[in-house]
Each structure stands twice: as structure tokens, then as C-alpha cells.
Amino acid sequence: MARQPQDPIVRDIVQMIRGAQLSRRQLLRGAAVGAAGAGTLGLASCAGGGSSSGDGVVWGNWTYYLDYDEESGSYPSLDRFMEESGYEVDYIEDIDDNNTFYGKIKDQLELGQYTGYDVVTFTDWMNGRIIQAEQVQEFDYANLPNVQANLVDAQWDALDVDPGRKFSIPWQLPASGWVWNTEAVPDGIKTLDDFLRPELKGKVVVLSEMRDTVGMILAGLGHDPSGDWGDAEFDEAMAWLDDALKSGQIGNVKGNSYTQDLISGDALAAMAWSGDVIMLNAENDNQWTLEIPESGGMIASDSFTVPNGTSAEAKARVEEMIDYYYQPEVMAEVADYVTYVPPVKGTQEAMRTVNPENADNPLIFPSEADWEHLHSFRTLSAEEDKKYSTEFQNVLGL
């Protein structure tokens, strides 16, 4: 079992959280469960930022981003790693938003002090920011033979400010595409302007995550979201979104709760995350089709980084842990639970043993053709990020 916090109050809270932890599928079922999930996130944040890892590892990760056994309240792959390695990992699901988590450890990062975490898994756009600020450490690939051998080719240079993945190593690859109710929208959504068909008025929802929604709009308008686009292309995307919102064609802009709109029928088509649709279909008789659009979907990376304040000894242990997860059979266990795209070669073959039903799921294992249509959102400068984020929020009316 993962080491418990020293503070007895915090320890009790964490035990309570783990005892009541909800599956991702349960989280999708309704507002009451969602409220419980929000409480979990709030309490989990109490556990982060603790003492130095001593002779173990403190890993800050996103909620529901590691295989979890609800009956035993444990993380099977992580338990096995701790048994094999002989040291403990404080696994803390403490990231629910890149900006808020960055704000939590920003001061320590800027001072080069220990953040309370030996390793974290920000999304790559945030990783680009902290790499450029020289706030994270370079990995020693002598300790990472499995990563060297098994990281999928497309990810080595996917983060433009970290070619060769010297400072960031992908953990999960959330992909986004276009989803529709298969029965109500029999012709599907094949082009960006298909979202504007009269019969879908008010029944379209897009994501509140700028890089996914704007990225897919840019791609639909013929621009490469990972390429050298600028103000003119961004303004064009904002004009398309603004028109669709003001006309009432797009009925809602949401985060994860867009899944509830799909379930209720309030939305018949959406820009969506692949893992969500896998779980929606599993729970609701395969009502939806999700495809990577021909014009281009988005793929992000949530990647391991080691903050500067982590000791050399702890960094070496982190590298051992990362390398463990880069074994295909281990990553297959994780992918079967998380259902996002794994970054490890050989995972699909290993999945045939773990769960054959998921081995040929194109939303977990995109085809070669799909990979050609998956884009990463280019890294924005701090000035661009502030400007574009503000414009996006203004168009949404937030």
C-alpha cells in the first residue's frame, strides 16, 4: 500500500477519500455523484505539498489516471512496483487543473525549492512553460532503457520546446475528436460546417478547454494547430465560434459535464475527449460514434517532469518508476482503466492479454491513418497564452 501521510488528520482524510473513491464511470452518472467527486478533489488537495520524499517518491497526478481496484482500494500496478523496487510511492491525485496546480507550487518552482512532489504530470503546454523557465530537471536516459525503446515515435518531438524529450516523458495522451449520436445524426459529422446543420441547432456542445476546441476549429478551417499560425488564424477561428454561439447553433460550452448533455439528449453532437466516449458507450449501449476528423483532431500529452527541488536520489527513483511503466504489459493495465491513448509501443499487443475487447479499440489505439490527423497545439508564449485565453473567454461570455 502507498505510504500514508504523517499527519493523522490528513491520513484519516486520505483514507476516507480512498475508501469512498468513485469510479470514472460512476462520476459520469449524475450531479450527485459529480458533487461527491468535487469534494474528493478538494480534500485530495490537502494531502499534497507534504514533506520531502525521504527514501521514497511523491507522485502528483490527475484524478483517475492510474489503474485502481475499487474493491481493495489500491493501485495494482503501483503496488507491484513498490514491492519490486523496495521503496514506497506517495501517490496523490492532486491535479485537477494545470493552472491551479501550477499556482500551488509556483513559488517553490521559482525559488528552486522542493515542491512537495518528486514528479508531476502537467499537460505539455504547461510543461513547455516550466521547461522554458528552467524549473525542471533533465532526465538521465541511462536509467530509462524501456522509455528509450518503447516511447512511440510521434511523441519524441511532439513538444516543440523539448525535442528528444530531455525534460518531459509522456504518461497519457488524451485525444479529442468529434462525437455524435449515431441514431439521431446518421450522416455523422464529417466537416466543421456539419456542426452548423439546421437540424442540430442548439444541440451542439464544444469543450471549454481552449486548446482542444480552438485546435479543432483551426484544423477544420485548414490551419495546422501545431504549425506556425498567428493572430489572423486565431481570429478566424474565434469568428467561427462567435457566430455559432450567437446564433444559438452551439447550445453549450462545457468541461467534462458535456457527457451529461449527450446522455440527456440535450446535445446530439460535440467536440469530445476519446476516453469519455469509450465510457459513455460502455454504460449506454454504444449510442455514440467518435471519429478523429479528417481535418484533424487534437492529441495532448500529460507528461512526467521532475521539478528542480527534487533530490538526485529521488530523481533516480522516479526514473526507475517511469521506466517500469514503459513496459507494455504494465502500461496495458493502466490503459485498460484510463482508456486514453498510451504512449508505449507494444501496449496494443499486451492489451490482448489484459482485455481483448479493448485491444482493437481505435480510440485507445489510433490507426496509422488516425495518427496522421492528430495534432498537438503549438506551445504559446506567455503573452500569446494570456491574449488568446482572454479572447477565448470573452467569446464564451465568461
CA gap 103, 130 in Å, rounded: 12
CA gap 104, 102 in Å, rounded: 5
What pTM does this model have? 0.77
90: CB partners within 8 A, 6+ apart: 2, 3, 5, 50, 53, 56, 57, 58, 59
pLDDT surpasses 80 at 221:
yes
In this predicted model, which residue has the larger pLDDT, 28 or 222? 222
When pLDDT is cut at 50, 70 and 90, the band that residue 78 belongs to is: very high
Average pLDDT, whole number, for the chain?
A: 86
Report, as an integer, the average pLDDT of 361-375. 88
In this predicted model, which residue has the larger pLDDT, 23 or 300? 300
When pLDDT is cut at 50, 70 and 90, the band that residue 61 belongs to is: very high
371: CB partners within 8 A, 6+ apart: 154
Return the pLDDT at 212: 93
Helix, strand, coil shares of the chain, percent, nearest 5, are: 45, 15, 35
- Helix axes 382-396 and 231-246, enclosed angle (nearest 10): 20
Strands 175-181 and 269-273, bridge-based pairing: antiparallel
142-155 confidence digits (pLDDT tens) = 999 999 999 999 89
Phi, psi for residue 184 in degrees, rounded to 5? -80, -25
Return the pLDDT at 270: 97
CA gap 367, 372 in Å, rounded: 9
pLDDT surpasses 80 at 357:
yes
Return the pLDDT at 397: 84
Return the pLDDT at 7: 42
Return the pLDDT at 16: 39
The gap between the terminal CA atoms of the chain, to the nearest Å, is: 43
- DSSP assignment of 283-350, as one string? HTTS-EEEE--TT-EEE--EEEB-BTTS-HHHHHHHHHHHHHHTSHHHHHHHHHHH-SBP-BTTHHHH
Report, as an integer, the average pLDDT of 7-11. 40
pLDDT surpasses 70 at 126:
yes
Return the pLDDT at 23: 41
Judge contact between 219 and 296, C-beta under 8 A: yes
Q: Which of 199, 384, 220 is nearest to 296 (CA)?
A: 220
CA dihedral 173, 176, 180, 181 (to 10 degrees): 30
